[in-house]
């Protein structure tokens, strides 16, 4: 930008103040050839222009070649061939080269070959003339009078009725946000007497299956789709004797085995990042950390409550079973439970 421009530094637009002498909206484009041009970018020498032309041509040719390369790669090389594993790289790389060459050609063309003239367009005021404003106002009032809403009583009432009723379907459709969850958030598949089975093998878990320091993901026996019973996954953890520090936790478990909900009480992520030495359980989503040796107490992170514990026992055949459902709601907070 050169400072000798007569328009430089002069604001052309005013905001918030109406001027009396308003000119009509016109656009003036002044071509000012007399100002020195930016000769650095603009090639004046015919030999330079010839060179620039060749360069742009070469870039466009590279664009053609790269596009053809992409097409050849797509059709000639099956992705099941040995070379096929490079398919993504060749296709993406070829397209990138083609697009870059075409774009670079455009920019070089504009910089080297197009005439560099400086055009200045004056800004103009955006509001209309008083006459035009008056005319618009008159038209509006005349139109409102012509409608005759004051005259046609029936028309007016039915129109109001129609417009008033129309939003109703949208309000009614909010019903589809439901149905209300009822007790489904409070209940899981766990009931008194149901056995603990492995999530993958669906085999019941026996006392002694788990090694000391072991953890197993279990479900209620006879569970169906895990996605339908997303609140049921439970961790069975075996401690070494004397490691559990809470009396309630000991009483609700069997022989150093305890069962806790696998669903984080913060946002419902499944958690079993269990550290057998520190007895920390980490939720990978927001780093809530539970101390499994102390009633799953929250020792770090955003979780609001400890994980619920499932009361378990061992039946006469040696299999673990639930002594009852979870005594509190499992998983994240909801409206009735914070």
If the CB atoms of residues 62 and 108 are measured against other proteins, the closer one turns out to be 108
**The one segment of 57-65, 150-158, 192-200, 250-258 that binds other proteins by CB under 8 A:** 192-200
**The one segment of 62-70, 121-129, 134-142, 270-278 that binds other proteins by CB under 8 A:** 270-278
Return the residue of 30, 64, 107, 149 that touches other proteins, per CB under 8 A. 107
Distance from C-alpha of 88 to C-alpha of 96, rounded to nearest angstrom:
12
Evaluate whether 295 touches 249 at the Cβ level (below 8 Å): yes
Tokens describing residue 313: 């026992």
- Shortest approach of other proteins to residue 285 CB, angstroms? 11
Contacts of 120 (CB under 8 A, 6+ apart): 5, 7, 29, 30, 32
Evaluate whether 232 touches 188 at the Cβ level (below 8 Å): yes
Return the residue of 22, 185, 210, 267 that touches other proteins, per CB under 8 A. 210
Distance from C-alpha of 123 to C-alpha of 4, rounded to nearest angstrom:
19
Residue 65 found at the interface with other proteins (CB under 8 A): no
If the CB atoms of residues 40 and 44 are measured against other proteins, the closer one turns out to be 40
> Which uninterrupted H or E stretch holds 256?
none
- Shortest approach of other proteins to residue 334 CB, angstroms? 24
Return the residue of 49, 156, 206, 323 that touches other proteins, per CB under 8 A. 206
> Which uninterrupted H or E stretch holds 40?
none
Give me the long-range contacts of 322-326 (CB less than 8 A, separation at least 24). Answer: 322/190, 322/191, 322/192, 322/193, 322/194, 322/195, 322/196, 322/220, 322/259, 323/192, 324/190, 324/191, 324/192, 325/187, 325/188, 325/190, 325/191, 325/192, 326/188, 326/190, 326/261
Return the residue of 148, 193, 284, 318 that touches other proteins, per CB under 8 A. 284
Return the residue of 217, 256, 268, 314 that touches other proteins, per CB under 8 A. 217
Residue 202 found at the interface with other proteins (CB under 8 A): no
Distance from C-alpha of 73 to C-alpha of 91, rounded to nearest angstrom:
7
If the CB atoms of residues 106 and 334 are measured against other proteins, the closer one turns out to be 106
If the CB atoms of residues 236 and 329 are measured against other proteins, the closer one turns out to be 236
Contacts of 52 (CB under 8 A, 6+ apart): 43, 108, 109, 112, 113
If the CB atoms of residues 152 and 300 are measured against other proteins, the closer one turns out to be 300
**The one segment of 173-181, 184-192, 201-209, 320-328 that binds other proteins by CB under 8 A:** 201-209
129: three-class secondary structure by DSSP: coil
Nearest to 230 by CA among 198, 191, 185: 185
- Shortest approach of other proteins to residue 215 CB, angstroms? 4
Count of residues binding other proteins (CB under 8 A)? 40
If the CB atoms of residues 213 and 268 are measured against other proteins, the closer one turns out to be 213
Residue 99 found at the interface with other proteins (CB under 8 A): no
Q: What are the residues binding other proteins (CB under 8 A)? A: 41, 85, 87-89, 92, 107, 111, 198-201, 205-206, 208-217, 237, 270-278, 280, 282, 284, 287, 289, 300
């Amino acid at each position: 930008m050169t400072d000798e421009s007569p328009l430089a530094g002069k604001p052309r637009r005013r905001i918030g103040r109406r001027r009396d002498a308003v000119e009509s909206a016109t656009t003036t484009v002044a071509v000012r050839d007399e100002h020195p041009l930016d000769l650095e970018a603009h090639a004046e020498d015919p030999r330079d222009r010839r060179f620039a032309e060749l360069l742009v041509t070469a870039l466009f040719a590279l664009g053609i070649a790269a596009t053809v390369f992409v097409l050849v790669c797509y059709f000639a090389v099956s992705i099941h061939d040995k070379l096929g594993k490079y398919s993504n790289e060749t296709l993406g790389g070829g397209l990138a080269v083609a697009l870059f060459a075409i774009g670079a050609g455009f920019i070089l063309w504009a910089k080297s070959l197009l005439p560099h003239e400086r055009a200045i367009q004056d800004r103009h005021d955006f509001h209309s003339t008083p006459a035009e404003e008056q005319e618009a106002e008159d038209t509006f009032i005349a139109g409102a009078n012509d409608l005759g809403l004051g005259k046609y009583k029936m028309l007016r009432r039915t129109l109001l009725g129609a417009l008033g009723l129309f939003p109703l379907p949208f309000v009614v459709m909010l019903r589809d946000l439901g149905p209300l969850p009822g007790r489904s958030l409070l209940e899981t598949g766990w009931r008194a007497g149901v056995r603990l089975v492995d999530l993958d093998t669906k085999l019941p878990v026996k006392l002694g299956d788990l090694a000391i320091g072991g953890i197993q993901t279990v479900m209620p026996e006879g569970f169906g789709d895990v996605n339908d019973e997303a609140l049921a996954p439970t961790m069975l953890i075996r401690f070494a004797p004397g490691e559990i520090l809470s009396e309630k936790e000991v009483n609700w478990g069997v022989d150093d085995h305890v069962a806790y909900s696998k669903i984080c009480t913060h946002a419902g992520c499944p958690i079993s990042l269990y550290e057998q030495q520190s007895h920390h359980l980490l939720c990978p989503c927001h780093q809530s950390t539970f101390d499994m040796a102390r009633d799953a107490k929250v020792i770090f992170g955003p979780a609001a409550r400890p994980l619920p514990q499932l009361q378990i026992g061992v039946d006469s055949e040696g299999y673990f079973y639930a002594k009852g459902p979870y005594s509190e709601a499992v998983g994240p907070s909801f409206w009735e439970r914070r």
